[in-house]
Amino acid sequence: MDGILNISKPRGETSFGVVAMVKRWSGERRVGHAGTLDPEATGVLPVCLGGGTRVIEFLVEATKAYRAQIELGVATDTYDASGKITQRGDASGISQEQLKSVLTSFCGLIQQTPPMYSAVKYHGKRLYELARAGIEVERKSRLTRIYHLELIDWQPPVVTIEVVCGKGTYIRSLAHDLGQALDCGANLKSLIRLRYGLFDIEDAVSLPQLERAFRYGYWQHFVYPIDVVLLHWAAIVVSPDTGRLIKNGRPLVLGNDAGSQETAYLKQYPGARSSLESHCRVYTLDGCFLGVLRFNPERGQWQPEKVFL
């Protein structure tokens, strides 16, 4: 049971709760999600099964797209509608043009401070654990990237935006910072994750659908193969002998042997060599996904990082 599920998380359910359900329905012990959604948020939640849990570290690098409703004029301690009100302001005079101008300032590489109610660790403790105990600590800001930010609707005092961002971005912090920039306060009213890497909300399976699929034995219909999240890397096909070396953890110098299968592939697809950067996918001659290689620039070798066969 190896692969990845594109699950549509409902409102009110935690990401951990979804993982627990999948464990129970599937009987698979190794289950994990890639990228927490807050309980009140909905949308795409990739859940990895079996060997799929070994690519979570690569999956979290993918871009994500969200649609968010932000209420202006009210700030909270959680930065969303579930928190205690910490600020009230007047948003009645804010125009659509003013909103567009301020939103532009959040595009690109920006500094963002995580909310106190978040899973970020501080001296071994989760921030939300400290927050629930009434403790607030100074958080370090971090760099994050907003690739696209668009104003979708403005029905005062609620603004609707769509955001495409990189890893580590908190949409709650974005809502809070927007309120501070407008000098009226703001909080995240609702959030839906539209896309996570190649996983789209239009293709996501609901929890009732997934439960029935496991109960009646057609769950495979909803499982994506492990390598689907690695398709942005170049791929090579290796001979059986090279495959055995990879399985044994032996480093390789790809393409030096003029008669090797991988050299033939690189000659046939010269663009693959230029795109071989830090990682590449490896397949056997019969098309099975063998694993992931990582390039060691100091030695000029490709080191097997993960092997799946």
Q: What is the mean pLDDT of residues 69-83?
A: 94
**Which one is predicted more confidently, 40 or 264?**
40
Task: Describe the crossing of helices 15-26 and 207-216 by its angle, rounded to 10 degrees.
Answer: 10
pLDDT of residue 35: 86
Average the pLDDT over each of 136-150, 212-226, 269-283 and give the range with the smallest value. 269-283
Q: How far is CA 92 from CA 131, 155, 190, 209, 274, in A?
A: 32, 11, 21, 44, 54
How large is the average pLDDT for residues 220-237? Answer: 92
**CB-CB contact of 12 with 40 (8 Å):** yes
User: Phi, psi at residue 205, to the nearest 5°?
Assistant: -95, 140
pLDDT of 200 over the 60 cut = yes
Give the integer Cα–Cα distance in Å for 170 and 80: 11
In this model, does residue 155 exceed pLDDT 70?
Answer: yes
Rounded-to-integer distance, Cα 90 and Cα 74, Å: 9
Fold of domain 64-194: Pseudouridine synthase (3.30.2350)
Span 233-245, average pLDDT:
90
The catalytic position among 38, 77, 177, 227 is 38
Q: 3.30.365.10, 1.10.287.3510, 2.30.130.10, 2.60.40.1760: which CATH number matches 233-307?
A: 2.30.130.10
Q: How many residues does the chain have?
A: 309
Give the Cβ contact number of residue 191 at 10 Å: 22
DSSP string computed for 285-299? TTS-EEEEEEEETTT
Supply the mean pLDDT for the chain.
89
Please state which CATH number belongs to domain 3-62+198-227: 3.30.2350.10
Our measurement of the distance from residue 203's CA atom to the centroid of its chain's CA atoms, rounded to an integer in Å, reads 16
- List of E strands, 61-157: 64-72, 74-76, 85-88, 108-112, 121-122, 125-126, 142-155
- pLDDT exceeds cutoff 90 at 95: yes
Q: Do domains 64-194 and 233-307 have the same CATH topology?
A: no
Lowest mean pLDDT among 64-73, 84-93, 131-140, 298-307: 131-140
pLDDT of 257 strictly over 50: no
CB of 182 within 8 A of CB of 77? no
Helix (H) or strand (E) holding 273: helix 270-275
CA distance 266 to 283: 13
pLDDT interval class at 55 (50, 70, 90) = very high
Q: What is the pLDDT of residue 266?
A: 45
Domain spans in the chain, listed from the N-terminal domain onward: 3-62+198-227, 64-194, 233-307
Q: Helix 171-181 and helix 96-104: axis angle, to 10°? A: 120
Q: In what order do the strands lie in the sheet with 289-296?
A: 235-237, 279-283, 289-296, 301-307
Q: pTM of the full predicted structure?
A: 0.87
Supply 154's token pair.
């403005």
Decide: 26 and 4 in contact? Cβ < 8 Å: no
Question: Is 38 a residue of the active site?
Answer: yes
